[in-house]
Amino acid sequence: MAVKLELYRVFKEVAETGNISEAAKNLYISQSAVSQSVKQLETALQARLFARSPRGVSLTGEGQMLYEYVRSALGLLATGEDKLSQAQQLLLGTLVIGASDTVTALFLTPYLDAFHRRHPGIRLKIVSGRSAKVLSMLRSGAVDIAFASSPNDAALDCWPCFATHSAFVAAADFPCDFTHVYTWQEIAAFPLILLERKASSRVFLEQEFLKHGVTLTPEIELSSRQLLVSLARIGLGVAGVTLEFVEDALAGGEIRALQTDFTLPARSVDMCTLRDVTPTAAAAAFMAAIRSGGHAFGR
């Protein structure tokens, strides 16, 4: 049995004032409208809720029992409306972002810092994972925003954040000729250090090499980008890396890039949301800052 919420609001006001006229005044409706609402509720519930007297009305036993639940329910609704209003004003709420540790460290950190300073009531939750993981979480609703490499999914709205470029690097004293321009086959012949198969950058490299009839068979497969550089630095092989993520190591001379007679296509790390889902106020504010390219939120 469905009873309109407004009938319960009128019932609560009458119960608390004990007077039809006073309740009508507080609700900004006529006395007859209040009386009619009470009558409708009693008819719908098949219970007498008020005892009438010349001095006003008072709750019956059944009315008193109902009143306790109505007061609690309407109180919860009011609290919910207030919390929603605060969330829309960015006074409270939660923003869940999915991204790899590398993307968080090298790109997102200043945005997260600025957002937290401007909106301290918003709880920021970062879920770490590679592109496939965070995109899966986005589709399931577990994260509000995902940062992933070239997702190419019609169900998503994606905003390119920065381009990435693949390269092969080795220790400065690795037994190779850094002046030589290597072919696809020559690169594949090195003892290779690559990310694990499920990594999007690994899939990308394999696909590009296969287009030229070359299969990549790494000697070492890792789950950590940082380890790629660490193991290359000690001379265990040639690592397939993302240039933007190893700039410090290259600048410091810890590793050197091999030259190739081919250029791998650039990729991009995109900010992704579900196309048919309206973002929360917090997500919308964070995305706006990313699109503006500024770390100072609200400018």
Question: Which residue is it, tokens 């009315």?
Answer: 63
What does the pLDDT average to over 130-134?
A: 93
- pLDDT band at residue 297, thresholds of 50, 70 and 90? very low
Mean pLDDT of the chain: 92
Q: pLDDT > 70: what percent of the chain?
A: 97
Give the integer Cα–Cα distance in Å for 230 and 16. Answer: 72
- Based on the fold, state whether residues 139 and 282 are members of the same structural domain: yes
CATH (domain of 248): 3.40.190.10
CA atoms within a 13 Å half-sphere pointing along the CA-CB vector of 88 = 7
Amino acid (one-letter) located at 13: E
- Based on the fold, state whether residues 255 and 195 are members of the same structural domain: yes
What does the pLDDT average to over 129-146?
A: 94
Q: How many domains would you assign to the chain? A: 3
Question: 46: domain range?
Answer: 5-88
Do the domain assignments include residue 41?
yes
- Based on the fold, state whether residues 170 and 252 are members of the same structural domain: yes
Q: What is the pLDDT of residues 204-243, one digit of tens each?
A: 999 999 999 999 999 999 999 999 999 999 999 999 999 9
Tokens of 231: 């193991």
The CA-based angle 231-237-242, given to 5 degrees, is 70
pLDDT at 54: 83
- pLDDT band at residue 252, thresholds of 50, 70 and 90? very high
- Based on the fold, state whether residues 132 and 257 are members of the same structural domain: no
CB atoms within 10 A of CB 221: 13
- Based on the fold, state whether residues 235 and 174 are members of the same structural domain: yes
- pLDDT band at residue 2, thresholds of 50, 70 and 90? low
Do the domain assignments include residue 299?
no
CATH (domain of 44): 1.10.10.10
CB atoms within 10 A of CB 69: 10
Q: What is the pLDDT of residues 37-92, one digit of tens each?
A: 999 999 999 999 999 888 889 999 999 999 999 999 998 888 878 778 877 888 88
CB atoms within 10 A of CB 75: 11
pLDDT at 299: 33
Of the candidates 242, 234, 245, which has an alpha carbon nearest to the alpha carbon of residue 204? 242
Handedness of CA 111, 117, 119, 123 (dihedral sign): positive
- Based on the fold, state whether residues 240 and 221 are members of the same structural domain: yes
Do the domain assignments include residue 120?
yes
Question: Is residue 95 exposed (0-12), middle (13-18) or buried (19+ Cβ within 10 Å)?
Answer: buried
The model carries a pTM of 0.72
- Based on the fold, state whether residues 153 and 279 are members of the same structural domain: yes
